Amino acid sequence: MGRLRDLPGPCRWRRGTLIAVRSAARSTKPRELTLEQWAELDEDEPGELVDGRLEDEETPTFLHEAVVSWLIRVLGVWASVRGGWVFGSECKYAIRPRRGRKPDVSVYLKGAKTPARGASLARVPPSIAIEVISSRPRDARRDRVDKLHDYKAFGVRYYWLIDPAVRTLEVLRLSRAGVKLVLAASEGRHTPPGCTGLTLDLDALWAEMDRLPAE
């Protein structure tokens, strides 16, 4: 019988016999999920579904959440009086088989088909998907490239990108014909395409951000 230090990997005794135990870290693989399984995950299990596996979301800062909450307040008031809906960042969308996304904010304009009240997974696209870009390059690339293609394939009509770092708003119109930049602004008051009656005051948004201490 060889010495214990010659045995490969961790070992344990079973009924008087010393056996090798495979490392849990090596034997455990990330499990694949269906869209339905992803939709039923507890809310404390964050992540979007990419190729059947959970992909980490960006770590939101208080600045990120301040922008999201401001948008929900402003858009919520406007949409509610016009028969539309605004939802927050925990709403899950079935982009295509084995892929699901969670926009920071999503808007259903008046007349658009909306998910049922008891649904945990939406299969009808919002009229507008909004992402607040985080500072990490990986997250910014995901918002600007990966999610752009996903939302276009899903049938989202407008995609908003808000970058708090450089203080810009970009509105993209998505269609089968392609992607078109229809609004790019860094200050002033604007009515984004498709949002009749909405006044989006970017100066007010940046001022809201400035209320947070720098350190």
Work out the pLDDT band at 29, boundaries 50, 70, 90: low
- Per-residue confidence (pLDDT) for residue 30, from 0 to 100: 60
Is 191 part of a structural domain of the chain?
yes
Q: Considering only 64-78, 131-145, 168-182, 187-201, which range has the smallest mean pLDDT?
A: 131-145
Closest by CA to 204, choosing from 96, 46, 71, 82, is 71
- Per-residue confidence (pLDDT) for residue 56, from 0 to 100: 82
Is 39 part of a structural domain of the chain?
no
Domain range enclosing 161: 53-210
Is 3 part of a structural domain of the chain?
no
Is 12 part of a structural domain of the chain?
no
Tokens of 13: 């005794």
Torsion of Cα atoms, 74 then 162 then 183 then 107, to 10°: -50
d(CA 154, CA 37): 20
Work out the pLDDT band at 7, boundaries 50, 70, 90: very low
Tokens of 60: 């939101």
d(CA 183, CA 179): 12
Render pLDDT for 108-131 as a digit per residue (tens, 0 to 9). Answer: 999 999 999 999 999 999 999 999
Q: Beta-carbon neighbour count of residue 24 at 10 Å?
A: 8
Is 82 part of a structural domain of the chain?
yes
Looking only at the bridges linking them, the beta strands covering 105-108 and 85-87 are antiparallel
More confident residue, 139 or 107: 107
The residue type of 45 is E
Domains held by the chain: number:
1
- Per-residue confidence (pLDDT) for residue 42, from 0 to 100: 85
pLDDT above 90 (res 132): yes
Which pTM does this prediction carry? 0.83
Evaluate whether 192 touches 201 at the Cβ level (below 8 Å): no
Q: Considering only 21-25, 92-96, 186-190, which range has the smallest mean pLDDT?
A: 21-25
Is 36 part of a structural domain of the chain?
no
Q: Considering only 49-58, 163-172, 199-208, which range has the smallest mean pLDDT?
A: 49-58
Query: For the chain, what is the mean pLDDT?
Result: 88
Per DSSP, the three-state class of 166 is coil
Q: What's the CATH number where 162 sits? A: 3.90.1570.10
Is 42 part of a structural domain of the chain?
no
d(CA 99, CA 52): 6
Q: Which residue stretches of the chain are H helix?
A: 24-27, 35-39, 62-80, 137-141, 147-154, 202-210
Is 114 part of a structural domain of the chain?
yes
More confident residue, 176 or 56: 176
